[in-house]
A and B are shown apart, each in its own frame.
Chain A
Amino acid sequence: MSESAQAIVQRCQALYEDLHFEAVKAWKAAAPGRKAIGYMPVYVPCEIIHAAGMLPVGILGGGDQLEVIQGDAYYQSYICRIPRSTLEMGLTGRLDCLDGMLFPSICDVIRNLSGMWQVMFKDKYVKYVDVPQNYRDDVGGEFYIHEMRTLCDDLGALGGKPVTDEALRASIAVYNDNRRAVRELYAYRMAKPWQAPTSEVYLLLRAGMVLPPEEHTVLVRNYIAATDAVERPRRDNARVVLTGSFCEQPPLNLIRSIEMAGCYVVDDDYILALRWLLDDLPTVGNPLEELSKAFLHRSASTSSKYDEKREDKGRFLVESVRRSGAEGVIFAAPSFCDPALLERPMLQAVLAREKIPHTAFKYAENTGQMAPIREQAGTFADSIKLWSAA
């Protein structure tokens, strides 16, 4: 008998709430010599970790369940929260199950955290993953391929066996399937948001941070089938795209509050690592070249990524609104998030030009007071409905 959607979501929630990463420990314990590598938002080529026979583990901070004591001692009040809670997890031994950590080039705070990690956790493999902001194959592409080759060599040395092209191609196939499943989930929610609430979709994505991709793919497809089997009530909610939450995550209650306030989130930028590459990669040829081409030419847009041309700004967001049939955009960014908050006025200007309604608020991963957010989102949803009626 297949699992119910509720049972799947409950399992995902348990994984989400487990800040001791028992699932990762269990995976490692299942076979001798297994290793796990953590990575922070937004994107790293997980295929390389997978091809090294290791488990990629997405680290997204401690959320609202973790009391941050030691982590706060390393940061001033004007720094966002994700590095504090991540450090807290490291200093309290919660990340001991990880054999290494990757810090992608997303902002100055995460960049500097990579160096802090090197100083504070000397026995771990630590790598700053610099991705190119030059999108020419013969310039940024060459640089990126070389960086990925270094990562392959490092992980090969750590794991005791080289990362082969054959293994990389096999991992690309696994991740192609995973990305396909996640795209199916997003398409399903876009079509029937009442059947796949974002609070559930989000938990499914979070499960992908700790489960092997093969298992996660099955879980996602099982959820789609299970939730489609049981009709849920459809409400007259406003369809919105949510943007700005690509790094530090909102508390689950915040996502629920937006929905309870009368919004169907039909697209978002949560957990972009699972959706960064926009289509299937070839499973033949040079795998690092294919990963590079996909990154340079067929990847998502977010504010930590340079837009080469003025007219490119906001295009990805507007396309998301059009594709998903959204009626408005909610900017939900973490406090003190430089990339999201510097980007926001540019995106707002584009939306204004396109006559797309929008609203904005800030949060922290441990935000506890949901009433103001619920009121703001509710007012926004009401105004959309009123405009639509007019």
Chain B
Amino acid sequence: MNTPIIQTAPPQPAKKPAAPVQKEDAMWLQKEMINRNYHELSVAHDQGRKICATFVPGNLNELVMCFDMARSLPETNALQNGMRKKSGKFIMDAERDGHSEDVCTYVKSDLGMMLNGNIGPTGEPLPSPDLLLLSYTGCFTFMKWFELIRQKYGCETTMLHVPYQGDGRISKNMRDYVVGQLKKTVIPALERVSGVKFDIDRLRQYMKESVKAEEDLVHVLQSAKNRPSPIDGYFGAVYYIGPIFTAFRGTPEATQYYAVLRGEIDERLRQGKGPITPDGELKEEKYRLVVEGPPNWTSFREFWKMFYDEGAVVVASTYSKVGGVYDFGFRHDPDHPLESLADYCLGCYTNLNFSQRIDMICRYMDEYQADGLLINSIKSCNSFSAGQLLILREVEKRTGRPAAFIESDLVDPRYFSAANIKNRLESYFQMIKQKRTAAAVH
């Protein structure tokens, strides 16, 4: 390896505020990491670093790091703006600017943020990217999103087209196509924009770090197979996946983060404790659910509270696999780095076909001993949402366990109807309870 990995000081847990919100230490740590990435982005150009914007599913973080580029993820920006209650205005500003009310609110939140001066979620300015790396995995909207912001930024764009697993498998042709694009299109673009020559050994080194973090993440997510589950595999998991799905996969900080997280969760498991919620530890696990679909971000805590107030724990979720499906064995492979990147991109959850998605959910229902499936259908996200009602029917048919359906949106507060969702959830929990009682009688 010719080029050393840039090492930064390991992140320290942020100081816990006096606010009543309770989080695991690892949750504070990941918040600190995400905030620090925003700061690094804001000063990147001043420090002579180029910025690469890219997406979460199929992100090529290890590869981009080989070119010393800072990484910006527009979905994360939209998500963070949603959690900070900023996205509603951004979306309406984008609609006033001519964008349809029908389309993805992540896109409109991003465009609205640009219209408002491109100040990032943490309050620091987000400089224009130098390269838009359109790694287009599992969602056509990504393609239009970067075409839209390319019109504004005017910077170079490079596309990584990841074919869909229409036949439920990764063929050699698909893998070769992705690798061919990496070699002939993506890497040359990264070299051109960054001025740094590609070093495959550096990529291998980052991937070795990725594997450690992936192992620990899987261990943490699978801890939910225990009763009680020491984690919430949806609301809690979105914190756990933050570093590995974004700008940190392949870094020593991520490795350290996942080691800390694993230690914490193992300790909770040893003590027989339930998950930490914003209102403290969940004392009694009454319902175990599998959830399909992303969460709502604008009312995230309110949404979560509807679950833990009823003693409901999400033991597995598909959303926590959107930036990589690791729990069925995939790991980045330093010995075959480009092929491994291809397999990673091809294997992200929304790039799986329907049979694979249904199989995966049924497997979770079984392995995590779930009482039922809940689908949170997101208006913005056709990639997830189109066809979810068939998933619901098929999973009910195959598992014999009840499924329920609620609707909300990612970052558009206009589409989060708390009373409606709460009513449905309460009815659903009631139904599970009745089924349980009936089963006990028979």
B180 touches A348 (CB 8 A): no
A73 to B379, CA, bound (A): 16
B354 touches A74 (CB 8 A): no
Q: Is residue A17 contacting chain B, with contact meaning CB distance below 8 A? A: no
A115 touches B103 (CB 8 A): no
Q: Is residue B355 contacting chain A, with contact meaning CB distance below 8 A? A: yes
A120 to chain B, nearest CB (A): 7
A214 to B136, CA, bound (A): 39
Name the residue on A nearest B387 (C-beta): A112
Number of interface residues of A (CB under 8 A): 58
Q: Is residue A194 contacting chain B, with contact meaning CB distance below 8 A? A: no
A346 touches B102 (CB 8 A): no
A44 to chain B, nearest CB (A): 13
B159 touches A308 (CB 8 A): yes
B353 touches A338 (CB 8 A): no
A contact residues around B191 at 8 Å (CB): none
B contact residues around A107 at 8 Å (CB): 140, 382
| Residue from A115, A136, A335, A338 in contact with B382 in the complex, judged by beta carbons closer than 8 Å | A338
Q: A116-B387, A335-B102, A346-B151 are in contact. Are A140 and B355 (CB under 8 A)?
A: no
Q: Is residue B107 contacting chain A, with contact meaning CB distance below 8 A? A: yes
Stretch at the interface among A23-31, A124-132, A167-175: A124-132
Q: Is residue A382 contacting chain B, with contact meaning CB distance below 8 A? A: no
Name the residue on A nearest B154 (C-beta): A310
- The A-contacting residues of B in range 351-409, CB under 8 angstroms, are 353-355, 357-358, 377, 379, 382-383, 385-390, 394, 407
B contact residues around A337 at 8 Å (CB): 102
A294 to B233, CA, bound (A): 48
- The B-contacting residues of A in range 132-151, CB under 8 angstroms, are 132-134, 136, 138-140, 142-143, 146-147, 150
Contact with A along B292-330 (1 / 0, CB 8 A): 000000000000000000000000000000000000000
A-B contact count (CB 8 A): 162
Name the residue on B nearest A144 (C-beta): B177
Stretch at the interface among A75-83, A203-211, A266-274: A75-83
- The B-contacting residues of A in range 290-309, CB under 8 angstroms, are 303-304, 306-308
Q: Is residue A339 contacting chain B, with contact meaning CB distance below 8 A? A: yes
Name the residue on A nearest B173 (C-beta): A146
Q: Is residue A198 contacting chain B, with contact meaning CB distance below 8 A? A: no
B27 to chain A, nearest CB (A): 31
A-B contact pairs, 23 of them (CB 8 A): A76-B377, A78-B385, A105-B164, A107-B382, A112-B383, A112-B387, A116-B390, A119-B355, A119-B390, A134-B161, A134-B177, A136-B184, A136-B185, A140-B161, A142-B177, A142-B180, A147-B173, A304-B140, A310-B151, A338-B103, A338-B104, A342-B148, A345-B99
Interface residues of A, Cβ cutoff 8 Å to B: 73-76, 78-79, 83, 103, 105-109, 111-116, 118-120, 127-128, 130, 132-134, 136, 138-140, 142-143, 146-147, 150, 303-304, 306-308, 310, 313, 335-339, 341-346, 348-349, 362
